[in-house]
Amino acid sequence: MPHHERAQEDAQVPALDLAVTRFAGMASGSYYWPEGLLAEQLISGLASRPDRKQQALTDGQRLLSSYRRPYDGGERAAVLVDDRSGDVLAAALVHRSCGKNSSSSGCLDDQHAVLSVFLRPGFDRTKAQPLVAWSQQVPDRMQGGEGVGEKIATTEYVTLDAARTTARPIVRPNKAFSAQVPLYPKALIYGTAQDALSDAKAKRVLRLQTVDTPEQVLAFYKQLSPPLKDIESGDGFIAGSRNGLSFSVSTTIPRDMPAITNIEVEISE
């Protein structure tokens, strides 16, 4: 089932979050944190409801923006929405490049930011100008005295074509994690959660993320060929064995990110 059908299954997921996942798919990158789902980072950047603003535009479009909690507007996001369809046409993140290798190189300072603009295929970048103008409206909390407030140091444009929104093969971070255990194909490594594991546990546990529903994830494991043996299943959970190797798969939906599914695959000891 394609991920755009999630709306029919998850009535509790905000319409904006669903529109963002339809737009971004499985695209990923390092903006607020290393190599995470773009959809999750966009939703995070729109998370502060007290700071959420809307602006009516021409051609039946609307610009919706907000901040990422609790970063005082230094990390923020905006989306261009087609009011007729509810679809996201373009989106933007203002960030400090606190992603890949940030532990060694650090984030940009408060005076320098990066604007990353993401475009739907066929959507001309000139039509995304409202996002550029929005990025230059520096939040009061980021204003400095005597011209030392935030400046957009770099602007980049990314077209979210199928090559970017389609899931790529998962590279198992630990060779000790058996290749005999099938991984949900439309997922990526949940890096921050995986890094929190001890070295010993990381040999048996792999944490993933997807924009698909828990039901879609579990259906994949129930339909494996050859099938799992000794299956046990429950709410958001399935366990069994394959080729003599026992493992379990559990799925959870973060309370503050209901459009994202976290997956934990664990090989039995």
Mind listing the pLDDT tens digit for each residue in 29-55?
A: 989 888 899 999 999 999 988 889 999
Apex CA 125: angle with CA 120 and CA 129, to 5°?
Answer: 115
Can you give the pLDDT at residue 100? 57
**How many C-beta atoms lie closer than 10 Å to residue 244's C-beta?**
7
pLDDT of 213 over the 80 cut: yes
On whether both 125 and 201 belong to a single domain, the answer is no
Residue 137: predicted pLDDT? 86
Residue 176 lies in a domain: no
Nearest to 88 by CA among 8, 4, 166, 5: 4
Residue 43 domain boundaries = 3-165
- pLDDT above 90 covers a percentage of the chain that reads 66
Per-residue pLDDT reduced to its tens digit, 56-83: 999 999 999 999 887 667 789 999 999 9
Q: In this model, does residue 140 exceed pLDDT 70?
A: no
Judged against a pLDDT cut of 90, whether residue 177 lies above it is answered with no
pLDDT at 146: 55
Mean pLDDT score of the chain, rounded to an integer?
88
Let me know if residue 72 belongs to a domain: yes
> Is it the case that residue 217 has pLDDT exceeding 80?
yes
Q: What is the pLDDT of residues 226-264, one digit of tens each?
A: 999 999 999 999 999 998 999 999 999 999 999 999 999
Residues 153 and 203 in one domain: no
Would you say the C-alpha torsion 164, 166, 169, 174 has a positive or negative sign? positive
Residue 173 resides in a domain: no
Of 150, 165, 180, the last residue of a domain is 165
Distance CA 57, CA 136 (A): 17
Evaluate whether residue 209 is within a structural domain. yes
Residue-wise burial string across 63-97, b where 16 or more C-beta atoms lie within 10 A, e elsewhere: bbbbbbeebbbbbbbbbbbeeeeeebbbbbbbbbb
